[in-house]
Amino acid sequence: MSKDVIVLGAGIVGVSTAIHLQRRGRQVTLVDRKLPGEETSFGNAGLIQREGVVPYGFPQQIGVLVRYAFNNRIDAHYHLRALPGQLAFLARYWWHSNTKRHEIIARAYAPLIQHSISEHNDLVQASGAEELIRKNGWMEIFRSNAKRDAEFAEAERLKREFGLTFDALNSADLARLEPHIKGSFSGGLRWRDPWSVLDPHGLTSAYRRYFESLGGRFATGDAATLGQAGSGWRMMTDDGPLQADEAVLALGPWASEATRRLGYAFPLGVKRGYHMHYAPAGNAILNNWTLDAERGYFLAPMKRGIRLTTGAEFAARDAPKTPVQLDRAEAVARETFPLGERLDPEPWMGARPCTPDMMPIIGKAPRHKGLWFAFGHAHHGLTLGPVTGRVLAELMTGETPLIDISAYGPERFNP
């Protein structure tokens, strides 16, 4: 029997969820204020991070925290005026990042990451988006022997525990792989399992077109209008009122507002990030998605140009842009790779939705019939969109999910 579902949020997580529900016989309407993929899913490094089994933790060492306190780095920046409102989240984030707790979280997180490539492959093939995908991994480059050796050791550990594959590179290997990268780099590490995406927004758009080819529908509307209607859910769209038996909230950094109106209290923080595209100078070519590990910026050869991305900015979600990290990163990146002119009229900024235990929220709302959650994917929204969509659709339709998703349940924050 067909049952109507509203999926609120048309980023990579929402679009993927809508696809998997539509495949299972549900009639799905995907709703967003903007077109699919135009918010957080629009800008990132374009990696499907199969190697990312260890989520990004909060630094534990006092010396590192002191260095961050000066607020002059590329990989992290904060708004001083926003800190009072974020202290509770940051304190819980720091607590969960303790070495032992972080190890437990990584083991619970790994099954999602394990299926990231296979589930993207399913949707890439179905949507005809193969031209947007590169399957040759990505690369970290190191300026010091100490950093290089520590990362090699960590890669060996991840290989033993999670079956990941990588190449340890010396300076000659780097020169061969990236002849236009300049500077004194002691080596690199090339992760072989991940895929990269030439246009993340284009990939989400391709998935959206596939969803519509299955009979799904997209509508423009505001999540603030969602409310219970009898045994189901109702909201307003530009096409008029919309009613369904079930609703999925896949609203990324806006999920905290929608869930708060329904009586839930999720400790959802945001890490803002920026990007800018550049033309390569002269005949320079960047072959690999590349992280300057000790400076904290990323260079990615996208369809639009060389994309420079920054680390995390801790600020209010809707505060005005302050792209100081991008300016710092550009100055260093120009010394590393011959970047030409900027190609975007202004820096792009987006907000990653983060939980203090670094795992997403996936599952049934504890206190509402027919309401489901899929948000909080932090740095791995693009990576985890398809596998999240699959396991949630399986749960909603009475199938046994591909993996045990109990660790990601909403009830861990809202009993």
Which tens digit of pLDDT belongs to each residue from 377-393? 999 999 999 999 999 99
pLDDT at 415: 83
The model's pLDDT over 205-242, given as tens digits with 9 standing for 90+, comes to 999 999 999 999 999 999 999 999 999 999 999 999 99
* Residue 370 lies inside a defined structural domain of this protein: yes
10: domain CATH number is 3.50.50.60
* Residue 275 lies inside a defined structural domain of this protein: no
What's the pTM?
0.97
* Residue 284 lies inside a defined structural domain of this protein: no
- Share of residues in the chain with pLDDT > 90 (%): 97
Identify the residue with better confidence: 64 or 203: 203
Measured CA to CA, the distance from residue 386 to residue 365 in angstroms comes to 20
* Residue 70 lies inside a defined structural domain of this protein: no
The model's pLDDT over 294-324, given as tens digits with 9 standing for 90+, comes to 999 999 999 999 999 999 999 999 999 999 9
pLDDT at 1: 46
For 7-16, 38-47, 159-168, which range has the lowest pLDDT when averaged over its residues? 38-47
In this structure, what token pair is assigned to residue 168?
Answer: 């340890």
Burial of 264 (0-12, 13-18, 19+ CB in 10 A): buried
The one-letter code for the residue type at 31 is V
* Residue 151 lies inside a defined structural domain of this protein: no
Q: How confident is the model at residue 2 (pLDDT cuts 50, 70, 90)?
A: low
Measured CA to CA, the distance from residue 218 to residue 98 in angstroms comes to 42
* Residue 182 lies inside a defined structural domain of this protein: no
Q: What is the per-residue DSSP string for 26-38?
A: -EEEEEESSSTTS
Strands 187-191 and 290-292: unpaired
Enclosing domain of residue 414 = 1-57+97-134+195-268+356-415
Give me the chain's average pLDDT, please: 96
Whether the predicted pLDDT of 3 surpasses 80: no
pLDDT at 314: 96
pLDDT at 165: 98
The number of folded domains in the chain is 1
* Residue 72 lies inside a defined structural domain of this protein: no
In this structure, what token pair is assigned to residue 388?
Answer: 């999240």
Q: What is the per-residue DSSP string for 294-316?
A: TTTEEEEE-SSSEEEE--EEES-
The one-letter code for the residue type at 78 is Y
* Residue 130 lies inside a defined structural domain of this protein: yes
Whether the predicted pLDDT of 122 surpasses 90: yes
The mean per-residue pLDDT over the stretch 403-410 comes to: 97
